[in-house]
Amino acid sequence: MARRPDNPRPGLLVIDKPQGLTSHDVVSRVRRLAHTRKVGHGGTLDPMATGVLVIGIGKATKLLTWVSGHSKEYRATIRFGVATNTDDAEGVATAAVGCASLSEEQLEAALAPLRGDIMQVPSTVSAIKVNGKRAYALARAGEDVELAARPVRISRLEVLAPPRPGECILEENDADNAPGEQVPPGPVRVVDVDVVVECSSGTYVRALARDAGEALGVGAHLTALRRTRVGDVPLDTAMTLEELSAAVEAATPEGEPDAEPVLPVVPLGEAARTMFPSLLMTEAEAGAFAHGQAPRRSRGELARWATEVDYHPDNGSEEEAPPIAAVAPDGTVLGLLRIDASRLRTVLVF
């Protein structure tokens, strides 16, 4: 039997990732539902984390570079009084100084230096590569891992509710999981604090918790993390994996189990027009663009177009400017452009 072509209907899905699954686990499930290998995600969420995970299918995976580069919003709970080797509840305790209470003034003093443009040292247990190996693999092997600080922007870091003093019970550590890091089991006084974080791509919210705990001298880690927005994509547009499975099943014709699955995606063209400003091409320009040739516009024409669509790229290199959706006369989005030295250049062709 001939193999079915792997050419799925391109588009984006917004999934509410459940706790306990990796981002790749979600990709694998969507691959099975869509009957295609051409699936990717636009920004990793840790297994403990939940919330917005943007999934690209088919040619729409080409948009994920810009999805992952967008700012993000999170709701998180920071537990002060205990530090872990992963900076979240997935790890084992490395210090348990304890924390009986925290005042608003103490919290603000710890959080204030973490706002704005800062240099952040990523969490040791992360996917960042060190000499070709993932940092988490080196850390789990008992090696000392030193990651370089990198610039991130924390545009919002606010406490959402009064601190909640309490007690947690530490279990005995598994020496194989935390060599050289042993904390006695038993009860520890802690304070839980709910926060909202708006940040740039590449920010580790776990590291914010770690640094706030270190500033107060009590240690801290995340006990909950939920991503509530990626760029302009809010959580209320996301569906669970169960809802996705039910939608695919409902859209599959009865008696045709081998029919191509129909997923409730945002079509590629609609997604591109939503994410980027559009530039309408002529028939001739569209034909040439299909072969990679960018349309020609004078400096004055580009300036007028930018004013009409309110296109104001941030200051920086032209390679960092937001792309432009290249639109054919029939409304089809054929690919992406950028402005380079007052000329249009092709970024990619779908």
- Which residues have a catalytic role annotated? 46
Token output for 338:
């950028």
Q: Give the strand pairing for 72-80 and 220-230.
A: antiparallel
Rounded to whole angstroms, the Cα distance separating 232 from 135 reads: 31
Say which amino acid occupies 224.
Answer: A
The dihedral formed by the CA atoms of 246, 229, 90 and 211, expressed in degrees to the nearest 10: 180
Token output for 282:
């002529």
Dmax (CA) of the chain: 74
Would you tell me how many other CB atoms lie within 10 Å of the CB of residue 7?
Answer: 11
CB of 272 closer than 8 Å to CB of 347: no
CB contact set of 327 (below 8 Å; sequence gap of 6+): 273, 278, 279, 280, 281, 333, 334
In a 3-state reduction of DSSP, which class is residue 214? helix
